[in-house]
Chains A and B, each alone.
Chain A
Amino acid sequence: MIVKGILKKGAYYDSVSLMIVSKELNKLDGVVDSSVVMGTQENRAILNAAGLMVSDFDKSNDTDLLISIKAISEEAISNAFAKVDQLLKDIRNKHDETGNVKAHSLDQAVKQLSGANLSLISIAGKYAAREAMKALQQGLHVMLFSDNVSISEEIELKQFAQSKGLMVMGPDCGTAIINGIPLAFANVVQKGNIGIVAASGTGLQEVSSLISNEGAGISQAIGTGGRDVKKEVGGIMFIEAMKALALDEETKIIVLISKPPHEEVLQKISDEINKIKKPVIAILIGGNPKPLRDAGAIPAHNLEEAAIYAASLAKGIEVEKALNKIELRDIEILAQSEKLAKNCSGKYIRGLFNGGTLCDEAQLILKDTIGYVHSNAPLNPDYQLKNLWKSEENTILDMGEDEFTSGRPHPMIDFSLRNKRIIEEAENKEVAIILLDVVLGYGSHLDPASELVPVIRKALEISPKLLFICSVTGTNQDPQNRIEIIQKLQKAGAIVMPSNVAASKLVGTIAKLIR
């Protein structure tokens, strides 16, 4: 039998906690008896009587902790001493009923949420990078919703994250779906085997929703922020996200969404596509698809095509067949447009968009039928709108741009500015068609129909022959429920197309016929 003791100076614990520790120690294999007490004179007398006294304890005082173990072997004693440390630590860190108290900082929040793995940051841009860095230093992935983060900060964050094997989505990343959880502005989509990397927020929402509506599902949808594919950032997170999806067992098909990247970044993306064994579908909105095709990707011409390709592959349908389906649909649009054009008055179109990528895509599709259109964010700088508040000829507006949003919430939440504009456009006799996007999902307005239906009705009273052509980005699982919104819009007199591409094509073909 061996007796050994340790004296810990100045480590005060209450006697009840210590009795619990001692009880736990006595359960250990090989331990015959143990005592964990404060070093008072009385306690030393008790230790003496129990045969647990060791000579080191003679000089102890009231705030010293005395740990004494009687055991059958050295091994059992050292095990017991190791266990004491753990038990004492547990006493101090035990969870309590104070879990719902406020955390003022990441440090405290991490203590409250054991296993926290992602920090979602939406504070003002000038503070956001610092908070993001703190999260990375704590080993958390970051989704940086905030904008107005400098590009040098973005690079610093992303390089640091890369070195730690962490992800930085953003800055200005509005949407992501990680492990089936929609983050910030995101839709409730079906789970599945399609992984998305997107440097475009509404692009990601549109593609993930369309995939879900086509009956396929999403494994992960990673946003990178639009600036990631610029030369300075060099596509750090776009590439890292591609690698992660390539390794992810759930992900069988990869979809890449971006505005045209810088050529160096495009080269890196192409090199990465080359290495990936899984099918890769890529859409560079307005970009040349050739380098991606050369790298082995399936290039899509627009978001809808990308979604349909991916969903088809997921369901085991060949891409050619999917393409046929789109072509058939386009023929229908042509027929539909002829019918609608006949009953049209006015000659111009107005597109009023909340989603930036959807606005770009509409302009690209319209370019094929009626050429460049005026915009606050035009494809061709010659078509820059002189006065934001006054449309010219055919005009497509991105109402999510800073010049519209300063001092008010994003138009996906606050419809008032667009509603006002709809009425103004309806009062113009030259306007034949109003093209709208409606983006659903978490973060967006919870009842967009209540905003749009009265406005559409009023506009049709002003201009009965006006055509409203819309698309609704979202799913039936979204809190707003896509099908209900569609029915309400149709009832109000709007034509609702299955995608932004389809809506834009319909508008384009009508516009061509009536001009």
Chain B
Amino acid sequence: MAINDLFNQPLKVINTGLASFKTNLEKVGAEVVQVSWKPPVDVDKNSSRIIDANQSKIDKANQEALNIILNGKPVLVGLDIALNVIPGMKKNLILHSGPPITWERMCGPTRGAIMGALIYEGMAANPEEAEKLASSGKIEYAPCHEHASVGPMAGIISSSMPVFIIKNETYGNIAYCTLNEGLGKVLRYGAFGPEVIEKLKWMETIMYPILKAAVAKLGRVDLKNIIAQALHMGDEVHNRNRAGTSLLYRILAPAIVETSEIKEDTIKVLNFINGNDHFFLNLSMPASKACLDAARNIPFSSVAVVMARNGTDFGVQLAGTGNQWFTGAALVPDALFFPGYTKDDANPDIGDSAITETGGLGGFAIASAPAIVQFVGGTAKDAVQYTLDMYEITAGENNVYQIPYLNFRGTPTGIDVRKVIEKNITPFIDTGVAHKNPGVGQVGAGVLSAPMEPFKKAYEGLAKQFE
């Protein structure tokens, strides 16, 4: 290239800064695109020097991480009881969503869900007993993510809960997730009344054996395929799972009918799944988890493999920083609230469901889900803009998950923490909203941009890997 080559081309300008320059250029007929620029996040100078000096090494690691994430093949292979299959699971261990947290710092919904789980497990007879036991030190707590699992909202998994078993057929790793309870008063939103416990018991004793038999009959259910189709049918498989649930139902129903012996139970189970649009969420989440877990421990990669919230903290893990958590305060989502509730009732962001965004779904694929654009400003264009913004911070585009409206462009996949910092854009997450007090349950649904602090720490943490 030489400078005077420019003199023989039409001038095409990228304008970063004063918007009036763009207006002036347009007046004289030049082609110009404005960069809606924000200053990068203020990070430790030494860290950015290290990251800058190692860009090509990081790029290479990220390509590897992205390839692994994209090559993952998550398949539902069975169901079992948590105690039997989840690594490290034991009677007095309760898994929760998000990064590690002590009882003292736990939010209302998480506490409520833990109390409910203790009652469900028969370890406490009533809420008072449960609360006492929960804070006694006899119960251990750990993040689902540290036990190959994910859980929506409070994300509570206790030892006798049934779980889906999802295998990443490409890499052999397994992920687990509980069965979705439906809406209303449910444990995952921190409710622990008798009806909540009763439903969990029904799920364990009636639904679980039926589903287990049906999945055993099917052998395997290809979740990646269902998700890809669901995106074409208006789901982003986080806040909208209607298509995914329908597709799953079409696969499960014949097998359930074939394997289930008691007609009455069969009808109940089929109606339960059919009546719960979010049933597939508890499969889209572990499907994402299974793909992302395979990309752990790739030295120097700045790609996020976990984003998760416990209602108090927002945590991030990177492919290149092992099991280290980078955390910051969780924010309260912008939401549409159910009648009678306001933002004042809302608990800060909670749940492992941001694993879908981490895997290029959910808020990253919101352009696929025009039916839920009310959550993001009301127009399809708003949704498209959110998805397009996410391409700014990802390492690549999905090879299988696509957005019809964007001419089947792959969803933005593989959050690159460098780009988050450089462009000052945090991941966009779809979410449900729990009441901040234990026992109340869901009060709305909405969206939020992740807090910057965990990403800033992750960026600086990655820089330390080069020391």
**Residues of chain A within 8 A of B39, CB atoms compared:** 123-124, 127
**Residues of chain B within 8 A of A108, CB atoms compared:** 35, 388, 391-392
Total chain A interface residues with beta-carbon distance under 8 A: 71
**Residues of chain A within 8 A of B40, CB atoms compared:** 127, 130
B36 CB-CB contact with A under 8 Å: yes
Q: Assuming A106-B16, A123-B17, is B31 touching A113 (CB within 8 A)?
A: yes
A11 CB-CB contact with B under 8 Å: yes
Q: Assuming A10-B70, A243-B3, is B423 touching A91 (CB within 8 A)?
A: no
**Residues of chain A within 8 A of B4, CB atoms compared:** 244-245, 247-248
Name the interface residues of B33-52: CB closer than 8 Å to any CB of A.
Answer: 33-40
Name the interface residues of B387-414: CB closer than 8 Å to any CB of A.
Answer: 388-389, 391-392, 397, 399-400, 402, 404-410
Contact yes or no, B28 A104, CB < 8 A? no
**Residues of chain B within 8 A of A250, CB atoms compared:** 7
Stretch at the interface among A70-78, A163-171, A378-386: A163-171
Contact yes or no, B12 A118, CB < 8 A? yes
**Residues of chain B within 8 A of A91, CB atoms compared:** 407-408
B371 CB-CB contact with A under 8 Å: no
Contact yes or no, B28 A181, CB < 8 A? yes
**Residues of chain A within 8 A of B37, CB atoms compared:** 104-105, 123, 131
Stretch at the interface among B181-189, B224-232, B282-290, B455-463: B224-232
Which of B20, B24, B27 has most A Cβ within 10 Å?
B24
Partner of B16, one of A14, A61, A62, A121: A121
A120 CB-CB contact with B under 8 Å: yes
Contact yes or no, B7 A119, CB < 8 A? no
Q: Give the residue name and chain of the B residue nearest to A94 (CB).
A: B407
Contact yes or no, B400 A63, CB < 8 A? yes
Contact yes or no, A62 B7, CB < 8 A? no
Q: State which size class the interface on B falls in.
A: 35 or more
Q: Assuming A96-B407, A121-B17, A182-B28, is B11 touching A106 (CB within 8 A)?
A: no
**Least CB distance, B463 to chain A, in whole angstroms:** 17
Which of B20, B28, B402 has most A Cβ within 10 Å?
B28
Name the interface residues of A173-220: CB closer than 8 Å to any CB of B.
Answer: 178-184, 188, 219-220
A343 CB-CB contact with B under 8 Å: no
Q: Assuming A11-B399, A98-B388, A120-B15, is B24 touching A109 (CB within 8 A)?
A: no
**Least CB distance, B218 to chain A, in whole angstroms:** 14
B262 CB-CB contact with A under 8 Å: no
**Least CB distance, A197 to chain B, in whole angstroms:** 11
Contact yes or no, A102 B36, CB < 8 A? yes
A135 CB-CB contact with B under 8 Å: yes
Bound-state CA distance A383–B148 (Å) is 77
Interface readout for B1-37 with A: 1 if CB under 8 Å, 0 if not?
Answer: 1111111011111111110110011011111111111
Stretch at the interface among A26-34, A139-147, A391-399: A139-147
Partner of B21, one of A17, A120, A479: A120
**Residues of chain B within 8 A of A248, CB atoms compared:** 4, 7
Bound-state CA distance A35–B397 (Å) is 25
Can you pick out 8 interface pairs between chain A and chain B where the beta carbons lie within 8 Å of each other?
A62-B222, A96-B406, A101-B388, A109-B16, A120-B15, A166-B1, A179-B6, A247-B4
Which residues in A have some Cβ–Cβ distance to B below 8 Å? 10-14, 17, 61-63, 91-94, 96, 98, 101-110, 112-113, 115-124, 127, 130-131, 135, 139-141, 145-146, 164-167, 178-184, 188, 219-220, 240-241, 243-245, 247-248, 250, 442-443, 479
**Which 10 pairs across A and B sit closest by C-beta, in order of nearness?**
A122-B17, A165-B1, A244-B3, A442-B24, A113-B33, A12-B400, A244-B4, A123-B17, A122-B18, A165-B2
Which residues in B have some Cβ–Cβ distance to A below 8 Å? 1-7, 9-18, 20-21, 24-25, 27-40, 70-71, 73, 222, 224-225, 228, 232, 381, 384-385, 388-389, 391-392, 397, 399-400, 402, 404-410, 422-423, 425
15 more A-B residue pairs beyond the given contacts A62-B225, A119-B14, A479-B27, with a C-beta to C-beta distance below 8 A: A103-B36, A105-B423, A109-B34, A109-B35, A120-B15, A120-B17, A135-B14, A164-B1, A179-B6, A179-B11, A180-B28, A184-B21, A245-B4, A248-B7, A442-B24
